[in-house]
Structure 1
């Protein structure tokens, strides 16, 4: 009997902002590696998650939501999303079942028609719509593009996600195991820790603050008592934003640190001490040198 060959490949997850791409990636991987919030454009880099079982390894790229850029950071995010489409085995186009197809979806579809890889349509958030409405949603998207597969899912609840993975495995070519079986992301711990801190800022602030924030982990080191010390800086564009993030008597900054510490300890499986500073860097989103310093650099994955 012929031995079953190991399969592997790269899969891009694309879609408009806030359709559930990071939620789906975390569901697939089985733990939190991508940050989530109800604010659009939460993901800024390509987040690479690694799914491995006995038969296969699938490397998923969660891309920034495709939108009309307003500054250099926005341009970087769009470039990151489109570069993910160039050399992958499959593209997953994620849409929201509870919202009608819009101009943003149609714009992405036009770009996807130029992609060589097969495009699977994932209709997410099916838990928010009546099952009878699904047929109309499927027909609407079918009229826009001939998708290789159409799979209704709920990334939040997990509906049809295992089935989707099996479909992907059937499509993947034979290939090597790129990463160790227990590795869930290609990003260094510094990057994920910074993202967890930024997520808490997104969750606890309003209006212009979320999009004006970057986080840099300056140092991670273990002290003599065995506790990991994490030193990080939250960067904002204006002094008024610094005051908001620190909060009255430092309360908001303390809450950001408390929430972030829980996620970081779960990631590292260790106790940590987290120290946060807030720094003003005027108009950093429009200056390439600062974008590079704060980790927004293009990276080739293949």
Structure 2
């Protein structure tokens, strides 16, 4: 359960003649809907979503296998100006992802006009040799001035002649056209992963992310990003999977918020996360949570590495 061993667990079939495959980097500002989009495309929840910006931390790969192509989506952290060591690691990893994929899907929030953050990313992407597609997301949230909003993005990318596609990840509008456009940019290639796999991440990682998602949803701005989750133990038997996890925070006050009066908040987080885990593994889960204070863990390279945040090579 800790990691995938493809050679032992699965055999990867040979792709038919003319089959396409490749890696697609999903980049954009924080909170433009990148994780929601990847979840919709692969048809399963593997990336957490939250109204709080900067929820994606690790490069998460989602896999979609169709009769004509295998698309491996790399969901990157939102590119922004870093304010601490964790932010620097996340942005550096996103920049590395830009140069290590076959196609880049630059996702923007179509319900808002283009801003300085978008210009910063466009400047970054203008230096890559990889094909870039501008994806205008959240078209379901556009008002009557949709053409005016779109134009703010179209004018910025016009010098680079990037193709543009509009969609709504949440409402599942325009996703077929998006996929068709992505496939046209892929080269003939093999199956990189078994056709029935939807992510390269181990279940433990996704379990930890499901817990972190509920913390973000239930505590909102009170405990924003000073939280990391480690899965300490997973025990499986025929009827139930027992999961023991630790929530790491930076201050005692945050620990108090997470536990709540009489343990009510921790119970609510655990209950909601357990429901999501049961969908993930299609079985019963017993989840036990602990909260531990790790002062200034986001500022420490050692602590970041210990908690799973490493700079990509």
TM-score (norm. length: structure 1) = 0.95
Give 2:82's aligned residue. 69
Write the distance in 1 (CA, Å) between the matches of 2:80 and 2:150.
Answer: 23
Give 2:5's aligned residue. none
Contact 1:227 1:272 in 2 (8 A): yes
Write the distance in 2 (CA, Å) between the matches of 1:244 and 1:186.
Answer: 33
Write the distance in 1 (CA, Å) between the matches of 2:198 and 2:61.
Answer: 8
Which of the residues 214, 218, 233 maps onto 1:204? Answer: 218
Spell out the pairing of 1:286-297 with structure 2 (5 A cutoff).
286-297=299-310
Unaligned runs of 5+ in 2: 1-15
Contact 1:118 1:147 in 2 (8 A): no
Write the distance in 2 (CA, Å) between the matches of 1:31 and 1:244.
Answer: 31
SS in 2 for 1:123: strand
What is the CA-CA distance between 1:220 and the residue it aligns to?
A: 0.7
Unaligned runs of 5+ in 1: none
SS in 2 for 1:165: helix
SS in 2 for 1:22: helix
Write the distance in 2 (CA, Å) between the matches of 1:110 and 1:48.
Answer: 25
Write the distance in 2 (CA, Å) between the matches of 1:188 and 1:25.
Answer: 17
Give 1:41's aligned residue. 54
Which of the residues 27, 31, 35 maps onto 1:22? Answer: 35
Give 2:191's aligned residue. 177
Write the distance in 2 (CA, Å) between the matches of 1:151 and 1:23.
Answer: 17
Give 2:206's aligned residue. 192
Write the distance in 2 (CA, Å) between the matches of 1:149 and 1:220.
Answer: 45
1:244 corresponds to 2:266 = no
Contact 2:77 2:91 in 1 (8 A): yes
Which of the residues 166, 179, 203 maps onto 1:152? Answer: 166
What is the CA-CA distance between 1:206 and the residue it aligns to?
A: 3.2
Write the distance in 2 (CA, Å) between the matches of 1:285 and 1:41.
Answer: 14
Contact 2:131 2:185 in 1 (8 A): no
Write the distance in 2 (CA, Å) between the matches of 1:133 and 1:5.
Answer: 43
What is the CA-CA distance between 1:150 and the residue it aligns to?
A: 0.4
1:13 corresponds to 2:26 = yes
1:96 corresponds to 2:105 = no
Give 2:153's aligned residue. 141
Write the distance in 1 (CA, Å) between the matches of 2:199 and 2:100.
Answer: 18
1:216 corresponds to 2:230 = yes
Number of paired residues?
A: 296
Contact 1:209 1:241 in 2 (8 A): yes
Write the distance in 2 (CA, Å) between the matches of 1:133 and 1:12.
Answer: 29
Residue by residue over 1:235-259, the C-alpha shift from the partner in whole angstroms, topping out at 9 and shown as x without a partner, is 0001111011000111100000000
